[in-house]
Amino acid sequence: MVSNLDSGIDVPEDGSNGSKRETRQDKERREEDVRFPHSLASMPRNSGPGVFTSILAKLARERRWWDVDAVFAEMSARNIKPNRIHLNAAINVFAKARRPQKAEEWLIWMQDNDLKPNEVSYNSVINACAQTGYVERAEMWLGRMLEAGVQANEVSYNSVINACAQKGRVSRAEMWLEKMLAAGVKTDAFSYNSVINACAQRRDIERAETWLEKMLSEGIQADEVSYSSVIKACVQKGELDLAGYWLERMAAAGLQANEVTYNTVAGACLAAGDKDRLERWRRLMRLEENTVLKDPPLLKPSRPSSCTTKSLADVDQDILSDALPKRAEETRRRRPAAESRKKDDGGAVRKHRPTQGSVDRSNTWMWARLLVMLVVLQLILAVWSDYAVQSAKS
């Protein structure tokens, strides 16, 4: 049905220094390749199609994609015609083993032999391409799936959206999420989080907020990842007031910040020297009851936040103001005496001139190197003369 596999097995080349562990694994694989067809042939003759489906499922769990051809060869020898279940199981083996090219070959074989692929067939190939970074091919197969009239589900769209988001293709991820919404496919937190995180990675706060607001308006429960992505983007751009707004909304939803978000927020507050803000945010992130319930909700601040009107240099000046006079005094005390002496007429710093001793030392080293070179040259000439005499005698 499909040509036997002739490549892809990771074995050391002839003459290469493969490790003992790799050599042992390759030997075990070759032995298993020999035993597996014999074990298939030794099965009872009345083994039905369901037995081979179970075998393919086992191969998928063990990532043994190289034994798929042997299964179908045995089915052909027993006059068992493979159906769509068998082919979907074979595609799943290659998808689990992250072999998208092989998964595509079997899906194309299904189309050429009038075995109409279903959503399971396409989803396996889409997921295999998405997991291995072939974003364009994942998008292509989702497009072919829709063109073939096969109903795509949340698995189909989420695989492509997440693949585009991980590659930083925010516009493509947003496009597929919009198509998912237009098709009426049920979305979940994973669908939105992929887009929100991609926007946050580019520090595009407005787009990340837009998708988070849309997520909440659709009645989908946002999780820690949803809020944390927006909060982190706000902190990285210096929008601390806006970060505090989303942090309070996160606390009002009963969600506790993870360690990464806590460290990011705490670091920003310490850098700004705002201990009051740090204490308030600490209580919010730990969901202390008196803070979450009694404090009035924040109004969404306008952008840019008031905390960003100061430049980083001004913030550093405020934090280090106590240490600056001391550091300046130490710098003056440690200044070399040569730089402080000025000429009477121009006030310029006196340039350093080499002393007579330094000039003499440099000349001495030069003559010493020259003498060594002469000695080496004499040795070479002596050796060459002896060699010439010996050659003439012989």
Q: Which of 71-80, 95-104, 171-180, 341-350 has the lowest mean pLDDT?
A: 341-350
For residue 100, give Cα distances in angstroms to 167, 190, 254.
18, 23, 41
Q: Report whether pLDDT(329) > 50.
A: no
Tokens 């393919």 correspond to 56
> pLDDT value at position 114?
82
> pLDDT value at position 2?
44
Q: From CA 94, how far away is CA 101, in angstroms rounded?
A: 8
Q: From CA 202, how far away is CA 224, in angstroms rounded?
A: 19
pLDDT digits (tens, 9 = 90+) for 385-394: 888 777 777 6
Specify the pTM: 0.63
Residues in the chain: 394
Query: What torsion, rounded to 10 degrees, do the Cα atoms 230, 233, 239, 241 define?
Result: 30
Instruction: Round the average pLDDT of the chain to a whole number and report it.
Output: 76
> pLDDT value at position 140?
94
